[in-house]
Structure 1
Amino acid sequence: MSRLGIQFCWELAFGVLAALAFVPRAPVGTLFYRIMGSAALVLLLSGLGLALDAGRDWTEPGCLAAIAACAAFPLYSGPMRGATWGIALAIGVAGSALATTFELHHWMQDAGAVQIGLASLSALATGAVAGSVGLAMVLGHWYLTVPNLGIEHLQRLNRVTIASMCSSLVLVSLLCALHASELDAKATPLFGPWGLFHLGTRMAVGLVLPLVFAWMAASSMRYRNTRSATGILYASTVLVLIGTAAALSLQDSYGLPL
């Protein structure tokens, strides 16, 4: 389970940092970026700690990528903006993405480059869903303290959550289609009653319902009702985290980031 913990931490850190890239000029003050950057840092360090505790060497590619993402923290979480902030954030995003990809390689050591690439995209999409929805929910709370904050920042982030969810749906479906025979040969076939129950829970609770909630939040935002939108995003965050947990459980059973 420690391997799943490592992957969860790093893919969620990727999601938070990637979502942060879509609010580069929002006048929310340094505190917002400090909080979200710190959340990503805690996840990166937690994954690194789990990796070292599992006997990994810090010079392994995944650990080095996570360390690089951590090293950029002072720049992407502080008051600095512009090109320097963008470069630091890009290092954080790339580092967490590479760390997740290298960690997946431990799960799929016999897989080819295309298979690992597709699996990595699926894992990163799962992280992007959780990270973007969570960050959107936090940003929604900022409208309580910055009443004149433009609604376009939250609308943009909500569109990012929708794109992430749609991407995740497509990638999970592709993985299921490409590995259908392998998944059905497991002790509990994925396309049997119990397998479909767990896969359906992951898809419905973690992706489909949050998509509906994102549409509801978008409707609220059209009327500049940020309080309702934030409440909807809060509920969506809970659903997405349940879906992420279900995805990790499926990976533990079937060896793929579904």
Structure 2
Amino acid sequence: MNPIISADDLAAELAGEQPPVLLDVRYQLGGPHGRDAYDAGHIPGAVFIDLDAELASPPGIDGRHPLPDVGVFGAAMRRAGVSAGTPVVTYDAAQGWGAARAWWLLRWAGHGSVRVLDGGLAAWEGPLESKAPEPTEGDFAPEPGALPLLTADSAAALARSGVLLDARAPERYRGEVEPIDPVAGHIPGAVSAPTSENVDEHGRFLPAARLASRFAALGAEAGTEVGVYCGSGVSGAHQAVALELAGFTPALYAGSWSQWTQDPARPVATGPDRG
């Protein structure tokens, strides 16, 4: 299934016989809480999902955004009206990271019909509403494991045996700056692949062929085992969307750099090379 949907196609589906469940996952690292923006105006019918509280566990030794408790995640999805056979569309208003996190979690938990609104809320030209909907409770029961997941050890191994992409900004990969985590640098063997290069100037994903060419230049060709990580597993999910568009089923290291650096024994590489 195509992991993205255009704003025009979304409008058509919302007017159809089986409209998708809409999840508003507005999130900005270090920014204001997305609930206020949601209350000010959202796509009609969209339910707000709190990334920190419902799409992640509290920060700790597993990183800044560990995978959520399955019970908490399932309850949030059912509250939003998600059922096993109901299509779901996620969106946010920034880089697409929050929407991609919800997309990845639903796919990982066994939901087969999830898409990200390409270009986010900025691409939507229809009306907005401020009233929160009251959807009928869904029946979605998460069954984790439908998408591959990496641990710190398997991420380290994949960086040598396949291709492990680092979705963070290039300067963080090189170790020149680290505004969030305690150590700067990257996992040895990982390849720099910032999410900003997956999209055009409007925040829409590049065509599949261009994405495939991009990843091939980074060493990810047909048949290659590919993984991705970022700072805390959020922007890495956005990279996973781009990789799926390009024809891959990537493994996500959800703990990412924020978990890797919790263990001082783990090696760290710096500079532009894989290390």
TM-score range, shorter chain: under 0.3
TM-score normalised by length of structure 1: 0.28
Judging by fraction of residues, say which structure has more strand. 2
TM-score normalised by length of structure 2: 0.26
Judging by fraction of residues, say which structure has more helix. 1
